[in-house]
Structure 1
Amino acid sequence: MNNKSYLEKLDCIPSFESKVTNKDFCKTNKSLTTMQINIGKLCNLACKHCHVEAGPNRTEIMNLETIKDCLQVFKENNFSILDITGGAPEMNPNFEWLVKEAIKIEAKVIVRSNLVILREEKYKHLLEFYAENKVEVVCSLPYYSPKDADRQRGEGVFHESINILKELNKLGYGKDESLVLNLVYNPGGAFLPPPQKSLELQYKQKLKKEYGIIFNHLFTITNNPVGRFGSFLERSNNLEGYMERLSNSFNSSTVENMMCRNQLSIGWDGKLYDCDFNQTLGWTINGKNHISMLKGNVIEKRQISLGNHCYACTAGNGSSCGGSTT
């Protein structure tokens, strides 16, 4: 997708920044808690909604030097949460080393997994690795029925995901207080997710009854109109309608809690962003915009690079990598 022409089309609605009345909310908090690192775009799936446009043919992988820089900056700036994403982050050859080193510096480690990567022989051992290291697992399950889930992620993925969830439950995930298992719902089309609490209840009832699966929380995440989902909107002539829907659903009470205000996002090549979506657009932060530049420095409060795609995080009940924000 040509980001320039694409973003010009988003200008058919009022600019996002014009909707934010408290301009201090256009800046990060003084201190940040979360470092989210995308350690590669390589993935065993090619999901229709993926804003990263990850897939089996992608070659972008974070190298060990950049990973070490991330850990150094994490420690120097007193971050508390290391949020590891991809692609399928498990496919980075330095993934396990990263998790172990992060735990040594007392980071709370979150791994965003597509689940089905853990069925492959090369990665099966990671189930026990996660439990041993008390990694919080956040995994995508687009719906609690095979038809809807497979439509978004590929035929057979739902039942493979269910089998992995059962294995995680056997290890104590969703049961043991220290083994947190959270699921993620993304809408299957150009519409907003339903209220998180009610959908979480449905998921828990259905998955427990049908498969005996339990989990901690469900995160509902609004599809952001960038990357592969943005391309779908353009091809299907749904872009303007979707953006108008997001704009009309703008909720000012969500702005203060936008995830970009409390995190630093790092791309596979070490470039710095406000969030994973800005990363897709190539919008690096102002000033020192590579992780190597931050070593030995205190991260300062900064202006966030906002665009109309930010409506996705502020529509309805709000959206973030941790679900709704209100």
Structure 2
Amino acid sequence: MKSLHAQHHPLADTGYQLTVLTQAEVEGAHQPLFAMRLREAGLLPLRPTGITVMQVNVGKMCNQTCRHCHVDAGPDRTEIMTRATMQLCLDALARTDIAVVDLTGGAPEMNPDFRWFVEQISALGREVIVRCNLTIIVANPKYHDLPEFFARHRVRVVSSLPHFSAVRTDAQRGEGVFGRSIKALRMLNEAGYGVEGTGLSLDLVYNPSGAFLPGSQAGLERDFKQRLLREHGVVFNNLLTITNLPISRFLEYLLESGNYESYMDKLVQAYNPVAAANVMCRSTLSVGWDGQLYDCDFNQQLDLLVEGRAPQHIRDFNLETLNGRAIVVNQHCYGCTAGAGSSCGGATT
């Protein structure tokens, strides 16, 4: 299969297919259908409402190789953010009132400077979110104290758990992952996470396991809470539903299973202009492991940098200019605007 980093996707023959545009095309007259939908809603060019979250990918190394991973993370990935680049992020934060730093990977905890980075962000008085895959906590004794470390710095832990059953979770994330995830959740609960009155937030993330959209976030949260408590004695705060975007490994699955066109059609038909007005790229700036800047984590994986008139590397960070930029959109953006909407914080409407 041709790489998604090529200019055009191999199936980009119909109007709603994913077409990865060059920067010149994005800024010029050629506009994908998604941009036309934004224009109809008076949202083009899509601009930030104000950056309140800096999402930082500290590396693509991971102890897992999940089928739905849009980062294509795994044990063989060597891209790791250096401490020098982390310091550039800290310098940028210190000049702003950006309140939240969202650390992602891979497994962000595998970066050798991860704990130092968390400590420095915390010292700036900013909220820290860590996208923890759970199994990293039990993968090696050197990670066993992560729940206590997280609690000490009041980190908000957000963790993927595809389902409350072992069969469906392991099918998506690998054999034995569900059991290890439950063990890690119990360790987090023991440290106070998800427990009422502690103020230590533990949220779970649900991604559909196939070519369909997530169901009601509220209904799924109720089911997850009941089943995990009854069957495993596990508690958590919120369930966040995220739509799988047609990029990277999930795109490969769609192509191999023959579901690509029907899935894209589902996304297009479920387009919600209210969700479009609330997409996460309007309040979030994504920083790549090498310091390059993107409108969101998904654009990052497609090598779609922020528009050329804005700073494209964290070393050149300028909040005023970035807040005034036009956000780069494309066909994969239908994933964030389908139905109730989708973001790293769950449903948007």
Could you state the TM-score of these two structures normalised by the residue count of structure 2? 0.90
Quote the residue 2:37 is aligned against.
Answer: 19
1:305 correspondence with 2:322: no
Work out the CA distance in 1 between the residues paired with 2:257 and 2:341: 25
Which of 309, 312, 337 is the matching residue for 1:289?
312
Q: What is the letter of the counterpart of residue 33 of structure 1?
A: T
Counterpart amino acid of residue 295 in structure 2? D
Contact 1:82/1:110 (8 A) holds in 2:
yes
The aligned runs of 1:107-118 (5 Å cut-off) are 107-118=126-137
Displaced runs of 4 or more, over 4 A = 295-298
Rounded Cα–Cα distance in structure 2 between residues aligned with 1:212 and 1:178: 19
Distance 2:269 2:43 in 1: 23
Find the counterpart in structure 2 of residue 96 from structure 1.
115
After superposition, the Cα gap between the structure-2 partners of 1:168 and 1:306, relative to the gap in structure 1 and judged at 3 Å, is: same
Equivalenced residue count is 326
Q: Residues 10 and 189 from structure 1, CA distance in 2 versus in 1: closer, same or farther, beyond 3 angstroms?
A: farther
Mapped to 2, the partners of 1:261 and 1:210 lie a distance apart of 39
* Deviation of the 1:177 alpha carbon: 4.0
**Alignment-derived partner of residue 182 in structure 2:** 162
Which residue of structure 1 aligns with residue 71 of structure 2? Answer: 52
Tell me if the contact between 1:200 and 1:217 (Cα under 8 Å) persists in the aligned partners. Answer: yes
Unaligned runs of 5+ in 2: 17-31
Equivalents in 1 of 2:90, 2:258: separation in Å?
43
- Distance, in Å, in 1 between the alignment partners of 2:244 and 2:44 is 22
Aligned residue identity for 2:37: K
Report the Cα distance in structure 2 between the residues aligned to 1:29 and 1:296, rounded to whole angstroms.
11
- Highest RCO, 1 vs 2 (Cα 8 Å, sep ≥ 6): 1
Instruction: Give CA-to-partner distance per residue, 1:195-249, whole Å, 9 cap, x none.
Output: 1000000000000110111100000100010111111112222111110110001
The answer for the alignment partner of 1:2 in structure 2 is 3
1:323 corresponds to which residue?
Answer: 346
CA distance in 2, matches of 1:170, 1:275: 34
Partners of 1:41 and 1:108 lie apart in 2 by 22
AA aligned to 2:177 is: V
Q: What residue in structure 2 maps to residue 253 of structure 1?
A: 274
**1:278 alignment partner in structure 2:** 299
Alpha-carbon contact 2:48-2:281 (below 8 Å) kept: no
Matched residue, 2:81: 62
The range that moved more, 234-243 or 166-175, is 234-243
Give the Cα–Cα distance (whole angstroms) in 2 for the partners of residues 213 and 315 of structure 1. Answer: 31
- Distance in 1, matches of 2:101 and 2:184, equals 23
Which of 219, 222, 243 is 2:240 aligned to?
219
Report the CA distance shift for 1:216/1:279 in structure 2 as closer, same or farther (over 3 A): same
1:105 to 95, 117, 124: 124
| Cα shift at 1:44 | 0.3
Q: Distance in 1 between matches of 2:151 and 2:162?
A: 24
In the alignment, is residue 231 of structure 1 matched against residue 252 of structure 2? yes
Residues 1:190 and 2:199 aligned together: no
Q: Aligned equivalents of 2:33 and 2:247: distance in 1?
A: 16
Indicate whether 1:142 and 2:162 are aligned.
yes
Report the secondary structure of 1:5's partner residue.
coil
Change (3 A) 1:25 1:220: farther
Secondary structure of the corresponding residue to residue 93 of structure 1 = coil
Q: Does 1:178 align with 2:225?
A: no
The 10-residue stretch of structure 1 (73-82 or 141-150) with the greater mean CA deviation from structure 2:
73-82
Q: 1 CA distance for matches of 2:318 and 2:267?
A: 38
| Equivalent position SS for 1:109 | strand
* Aligned-residue offset at 1:2: 1.8
Letter in 2 for 1:224: L
Question: How many angstroms apart in 2 are the aligned matches of 1:203 and 1:9?
Answer: 38
Report the Cα offset of residue 295 of structure 1. 6.2
Matched residues in 1 for 2:223 and 2:45: separation? Answer: 35
The unaligned stretches of length 5 or more in structure 1 are none
CA deviations on 1:115-154 (whole Å, 9 max, x unpaired) are 0001021211211100111100000100000000000000
Aligned residues: CA RMSD: 1.6
Tell me if structure 2 keeps the 8 A contact 1:61–1:92. Answer: yes
Q: Give the Cα separation in 1 of the matches to 2:76 and 2:332.
A: 27
- Structure 2 counterpart of 1:230, which letter? L
Give TM-score, length-normalised by structure 1.
0.96
Deviation (angstroms), 1:73? 1.0
